Structure 1
Amino acid sequence: MKKIFLLLVLSVSLASVKAQVTDNTLQHILVDKDSRIDSLLQKNRDMNEAVYLNTLKNMQGYRLQVITTNDRNKAIEVKTRLLTDFPGEKTYLIYHAPYFKIQMGNFREREDAEQLMDRVKQVYPTGVFIVPSRIELKPSKDGEIIL
């Protein structure tokens, strides 16, 4: 009996609820905004463009890892020798505790890295191998980055 009474009261109360009536009299909405919002949006666009262009300068590629040692002085010595023997190739001293790694080159294709590896193995016959890495792209003379 209580359930029937509760159901009856609930159905009567729900029947009296009206849906919201839409009012189409407001056709135009005016927004008063601060002029600094436009300058902030432009700064945001500029920052996003700078980040995008920076990501274009790096891509996945290959480098030669010449030596891995925990002696910093030896790593610097090897890097100096590589810079004198291969002046056209960029060398990198990377520290991953507790090791210093000397890597060189920025190659998109593994075959290009293999060509340099053959020349480097004449100076360092052991321990030279190709590693995948994020490489730096060189822009052309007019400033465009060629993919």
Structure 2
Amino acid sequence: MLKPIAKLSFIALLFVSTLPDLQAQQGVVTINQDKDIDKLLEFKKDLATVNAFTIQIFSGSSRSARSDAQAIKTQVTTLFPDWANFIEYEQPNYKIRVGNFRTRLEADRALITVKKSYANAFILQPKKS
């Protein structure tokens, strides 16, 4: 009965004593890439961390919603020339959004100004795609 245990112990001891001698292969990897890629990655990282708040001032789904949206966009361009504005189509609605604010505080301050002309306006933080 002791012989099988002794054999097993000897094999286990032999196996454990050889483990420190085993080493994984080591190598060196060299990456050659254009330096502009690093700049693009930094730029993309900056864009990904920006919380861009916008103010939605119009949403319409009627047959004339597109022409209404175009007319309101023209008004918005003259009322708020310093802020970007755009029409976005999310089926079946045409939406007009104004501004690209980095902080919620900036968006809140702008909303006060926008609500003077468009009472139903609200702040929106679009989902990042």
Pick aligned residue for 1:127 from 113, 120, 125: 120
Which residue of 1 is the match for residue 66 of structure 2? 72
Structure 1 position 102 matched with structure 2 position 93? no
Secondary structure of 1:88 counterpart: coil
Structure 1 position 62 matched with structure 2 position 62? no
CA contact (8 A) 2:51 2:103 kept: no
CA contact (8 A) 1:60 1:134 kept: no
CA contact (8 A) 1:90 1:105 kept: yes
Query: In 2, Cα distance between the equivalents of 1:134 and 1:60?
Result: 10
% identical equivalent positions = 23
- Offset at residue 8 of structure 1 (A): 4.7
- Offset at residue 87 of structure 1 (A): 1.4
- Offset at residue 105 of structure 1 (A): 1.0
In structure 2, stretches of 5+ residues that fail to align are none
CA RMSD of aligned residues (A): 3.5
Task: Describe the shift of the 1:122–1:30 C-alpha distance in structure 2 as closer, same or farther (beyond 3 A).
Answer: closer
CA contact (8 A) 1:62 1:134 kept: no
Task: Describe the shift of the 1:55–1:91 C-alpha distance in structure 2 as closer, same or farther (beyond 3 A).
Answer: farther
- Offset at residue 75 of structure 1 (A): 1.8
Q: In proportion to residue count, which structure has more helix? A: 2
In structure 1, stretches of 5+ residues that fail to align are 24-28, 136-147
Query: In 1, Cα distance between the equivalents of 2:37 and 2:89?
Result: 30
Query: In 1, Cα distance between the equivalents of 2:99 and 2:112?
Result: 13
* TM-score, reference length from structure 2: 0.64
Q: What is the aligned length? A: 117
